[in-house]
Structure 1
Amino acid sequence: MLGRLLVRYLSPAWPLIIGVVVFQLAQSIASLWLPTLQANIIDDGVIKGDVDYIWRTGAVMLAVSFVQIACAIVAVYFGSRLAMGMGRDLRGDIFHRVVGFSQREVGRFGAPSLITRNTNDVQQVQMLVQMSATLMISAPILAIGGVIFALREDPGLSWLMAVSVPLLLIIVSLIVVRMVPAFRSMQKKIDRVNQIMREQLTGIRVVRAFVREDHEKVRFATASGDVRDTALRAGNLMALMFPAVMLVLNVSSVAVIWFGAFQIQDGETQVGTLFAFLSYMMQILMGVMMATFMFVMIPRAAVCATRIGEVLDTEPSVAAPAVAEEAPAPVGRVVFDHVEFTYPGADAPVLHDVSFAVEPGTTTAIIGSTGAGKTTLVGLVPRLFDVTGGSVTIDGVDVREYDPDELWERIGLVPQRAFLFSGSIASNLRYGDGAASDDDLWRALELAQARDFVEAMPEGLEAQIAQGGTNVSGGQRQRLAIARALVKRPEVYIFDDSFSALDLATDAALRRALDTHLPDATRIVVAQRVSTIQHADQIVVLDHGRVVGLGTHDELTQTNDTYREIVESQLSVEEAA
């Protein structure tokens, strides 16, 4: 998966890749040339006393060093551009893929994990690319070139390389093999920390209401401690690697000097040649040591790449058709035809053989006990899920055959949990229609019974809303969410228990306003309060995912036991109050 990601996202950036290769190659060649020049100065300049030769060769060495520095700077620049560009493209693709997910895919991965995959996981792959651009070219050139140049300088000491290099590779391999499981475990535990943190921030009011701060601190400390322990295991292995590498490097240096001294004593080699061989030996081992950086990062990046690939390779269960049906003239007729729906992995369907029609310009209410499938049912209309049996049609066309943008243009959804984005009231309302004027916004607020409290705010439409709408009350948040749908002016409105936080007077005023100003719109209302739906044109009674009643309030009161029980239970509560 790591290789596939790198090929996919680095292929378009071939000019930068060529630049990295060229300048890393030039830097490596310069590095390999310097020890030979150094040997020449010692053997031909210092020993023979040729000062002019020392100056000339020293000037060449200085020039080569400047070229080496310049090439290194340019290579790092190109490498950084390459890595940052890949990170940008990868994050963008993950984001666009996640935006296209249905509730099924989001629930499968979980929001905390998706956030981690688009931040921490991408960062690990990005760091690998940057380190590769810096080290992957120069490391093998230094190692292989060092071997060639060292053999040319003194073949008699080559056996030291045959011992030290394999020894170093064995040590690094043993450590890296143990690091892979630790890195894989660490990413999952980071997901857990993000999950707990997100839950605590989202549910801070619940935590405080039940005085569970200490419990949440312990829960977070436990998850954070797991990450710490795993990171320590990986860190200890990483810390062991570099002393081991330095041990081999230093022992090899001592061995070269030790055995080289005997060769100098016997006249088999020269001092400059020994220094050059030692420099090449160091370059070989440094090349191997730089490769260890890659070996350290590759396991973790590979784990992260696998997690990223899982997201990118997941096809949304709610996808656009290959050839979308030509959208008919918008009328707003919704038909549920023998609808069945089963959640992935569930033993039984949530909805069984649900059939009814919602005519244009009418209000259809859906009521039932908790868990009856009301929210799931209305979620099938905008394709938050797709039916697993039967069909849902709008104006005679199956919703699965619509172009998604065309389908969503016809639907205004007010979800069960009203959510507002950070920004102004105006920016939130314009999610419904980005071109809406201020007059359109005020008109929608008036219909949603929200104009009064918005006008009372000093900034009016420009009053700021905190993320999630936490700086307004639940009733105000619901009315703003309703106004946002009204700004859109679709043919079909779906109110999923959207009046639950409203008092009875505001509820009644809102329903009257909708009936008066939206006489041609189709309205589907999910509600728990009988008073909210008793004037609906038809009421659908759900029980355990099945339609057990269909009719008006008066008809169902007389003929349907389930509906009558709901009515009587609410009347009993009201009478008791």
Structure 2
Amino acid sequence: MIKKLLANVGEYKKESIITPIYVTGEVALDIIIPLIMAMMIDNGIEKGDTKAILMYGGLLFVCAIIALFFGAMSGRYAAVASAGFAKNLRDNLFSKVQAFSFSNIDRFSTSSLITRMTTDVTNIQNAYQMIIRLLVRSPLIFFFSLLMAFKINGDLSIIYLAVVPFLMIGLGFVIYFAHPIFEKVFRIYDRLNNVVQENLQGIRVVKSYVREDFEDEKFKTVSKDIYKNFSRAQSIVAFNNPILQSAVYTCMLLISWLGAKFVVGGTLTTGELVSMFTYTMQILMSLNMLSMVFVMVIIARTSAERVTEVLSEESDLKNNAHPLYDVPNGSVTFKDVCFSYANDSEKLALMHANMSIKPGEVIGIVGGTGSSKSTLVQLIPRLYDVTEGVVEVGGHDVRDYDLKTLRDQVSMVLQNNVLFTGTIKENLRWGNEDATDEDLIRVCKIAQADSFIQEFPDKYDTMISQGGNNVSGGQKQRLCIARALLKQPKILIMDDSTSAVDTKTDRLIREGMRKEIPGTTTFIIGQRVSSVQDSDRIIVMDKGLINAIGTHDELLATNPIYQEVYESQQKGFGEDDE
């Protein structure tokens, strides 16, 4: 885990190395300063030597300034190193998620991935900054202060050896009991982010059903759960401070009592006693800093495990050793294809699918909810890999193609497609970033989108808000169809992508596509028979099986499922709107 995380330090190794160097310089001066103070007291103040006082005072001032400089520089480089480390970690996490297959993404919830890229990375960043600075400073301060204390008076320094084990045992109990609670807290954070995400995405539904109070209560329940667990964890961590304070005051009292006797007995000078107090504070404060680091590490350990889990996840979809970089045509063949979302041959969503589609054919797909219509077409661009059998495009197994090459030749338009924040032009150019304004207008006319775009004051420069919330569902679908057409793919998949437009517009879109992309193999999944009836062939799906394949007339004459769908729509909705 540590090795995988440290690989993200990258170009910030220099800052990560320089920080401990400056810290070491700062520690050296912190150790020297009490010695100078002792000499100033013994050789200057007690003897009334003004010259010695000025000399040692000047030396103290210079050491303090240099120590301040080293401290500032170590803080600066630690901040740069930790922020850069966090930046690389977020970038690599995001890149990893981009390479995931749908099945990989299914293993993590969206809210959990967001928490891991934000809260968890921030925790790791804070821990890293503490490690390269405080975790270097504290042991050095502890070791050298203890060494100097023993050098000044070994008998008095034995007090530390009695107190330190007490502190270590207390810290061990804090770590042991706090870590499991922090693990639980971050799982609850995932739930909290999920509640927020669902609420914001579905805010129109929430308001239309007047469910604000319900959503508010749901949020408060999760938030209260975080409060209870985090408070419990922090209560355990809070024991660290009284344990430390007890140790500090115990040492101070014992050193004061015994030190006074040694001074009276002549075995310890006043300056040495003062320096002992300083080293006592340094020793115990170094332990305090160590405890702070360990508390942060307890929290960061949970975050590190969650982040490493994503970094260690391997995509189910990979290129083979020698992938193909050219898709000859848009032919599609399914050879005894089975698929399971659980990768379990006993739980198949799609069973023994066989079909052969020629380049340029228009294929309609109909079937009831849950009949695996979308599952069938998602195997073509390798959004998922088959569990059994072979899917071929252009005469080659889709697994033989370079993944990017294959997906560049397959455009998908979903029922709930997404538009991104930016202008209409910028959204359309997702299909082809080099497209001219004339190309944009041409595909928008085919998709029946140009007419409503021209009504906007800024036309094609109109800003689309997040998620496309400032356009209607039908307008969003038409923009997504235009975006897919701009890609000029060999295969176009329209997964119920005209469900929000009227039947006349639907027909005009299909007619436009037949004229514009006659060589493109087109799959049209539709709930309305009118959307697929003029297809070259229609596939009827039923419970994960291809029930029948034929033309509209053939299926209407021979297939009970198609007959039932057609008749129910004729009775319910009548003929196509003209």
Report TM bin, short chain: over 0.9
Q: In the TM superposition, what is the alpha-carbon distance from 1:213 to its structure 2 partner?
A: 1.2
1:187 aligned partner, one-letter code = F
Q: Distance in 2 between matches of 1:341 and 1:537?
A: 26
Alignment pair present for 1:138 and 2:137: yes
- 2:192 counterpart residue number: 193
- 1:501 counterpart residue number: 500
Q: In the TM superposition, what is the alpha-carbon distance from 1:13 to its structure 2 partner?
A: 3.6
Cα pair 2:538 2:552 within 8 Å, conserved: yes
Q: In the TM superposition, what is the alpha-carbon distance from 1:345 to its structure 2 partner?
A: 6.2
Q: Distance in 1 between matches of 2:570 and 2:207?
A: 34
Residue by residue, what CA displacement relative to the aligned partner does 1:20-66 show, whole Å, maximum 9, x if unpaired? 12111110010000111111111111112211111111111111111
Normalized against structure 1, the TM-score is what? 0.97
Q: Distance in 2 between matches of 1:166 and 1:345?
A: 53
Q: Secondary structure at the match of 2:356?
A: strand
1:518 aligned partner, one-letter code = I
- 1:180 counterpart residue number: 179
Q: In the TM superposition, what is the alpha-carbon distance from 1:574 to its structure 2 partner?
A: 2.4
Unaligned 5+ runs, structure 1: none
Q: Distance in 1 between matches of 2:450 and 2:327?
A: 35
Normalized against structure 2, the TM-score is what? 0.97
Cα pair 2:422 2:463 within 8 Å, conserved: yes
**Correspondences of 1:161-310 after superposition (within 5 Å):** 161-310=160-309
The two structures, once aligned, show a CA RMSD in angstroms of: 1.5
Cα pair 1:414 1:485 within 8 Å, conserved: yes
- 1:434 counterpart residue number: 433
Q: How many residues align?
A: 575
- 2:552 counterpart residue number: 553
2:332 aligned partner, one-letter code = V
1:337 aligned partner, one-letter code = K
Correspondence for 2:334 among 333, 336, 340: 336
Cα pair 1:125 1:305 within 8 Å, conserved: yes
2:200 aligned partner, one-letter code = L
Q: Secondary structure at the match of 2:64?
A: helix
Q: Secondary structure at the match of 2:9?
A: helix
Residue by residue, what CA displacement relative to the aligned partner does 1:463-494 show, whole Å, maximum 9, x if unpaired? 11111111111111110110110111111110
Residue by residue, what CA displacement relative to the aligned partner does 1:417-437 show, whole Å, maximum 9, x if unpaired? 121111111110000000111
CA 1:470–1:312: 2 relative to 1, 3 Å: same
Alignment pair present for 1:357 and 2:363: no
Q: In the TM superposition, what is the alpha-carbon distance from 1:313 to its structure 2 partner?
A: 0.6
Cα pair 2:506 2:531 within 8 Å, conserved: yes
Q: Distance in 1 between matches of 2:412 and 2:19?
A: 51
Alignment pair present for 1:158 and 2:157: yes
Q: In the TM superposition, what is the alpha-carbon distance from 1:518 to its structure 2 partner?
A: 1.6
Q: Distance in 1 between matches of 2:136 and 2:436?
A: 58
Cα pair 1:336 1:357 within 8 Å, conserved: yes
Q: In the TM superposition, what is the alpha-carbon distance from 1:179 to its structure 2 partner?
A: 1.1
Residue by residue, what CA displacement relative to the aligned partner does 1:139-163 show, whole Å, maximum 9, x if unpaired? 0111000111000001120221111
Q: In the TM superposition, what is the alpha-carbon distance from 1:243 to its structure 2 partner?
A: 2.7
- 2:402 counterpart residue number: 403
Deviates more, 1:210-219 or 1:145-154: 210-219
Residue by residue, what CA displacement relative to the aligned partner does 1:260-314 show, whole Å, maximum 9, x if unpaired? 1111122221111111112111111111111011110111111111111110111
- 2:393 counterpart residue number: 394
Cα pair 2:415 2:477 within 8 Å, conserved: no
Cα pair 2:343 2:387 within 8 Å, conserved: no
Alignment pair present for 1:528 and 2:527: yes
Identity across matched positions, percent = 35
Q: Distance in 1 between matches of 2:545 and 2:259?
A: 90
Q: Distance in 2 between matches of 1:307 and 1:448?
A: 44
Cα pair 2:325 2:405 within 8 Å, conserved: no
Q: In the TM superposition, what is the alpha-carbon distance from 1:240 to its structure 2 partner?
A: 2.5
Deviates more, 1:304-313 or 1:172-181: 172-181
- 1:455 counterpart residue number: 454
Deviates more, 1:413-422 or 1:184-193: 413-422
Cα pair 1:364 1:524 within 8 Å, conserved: yes
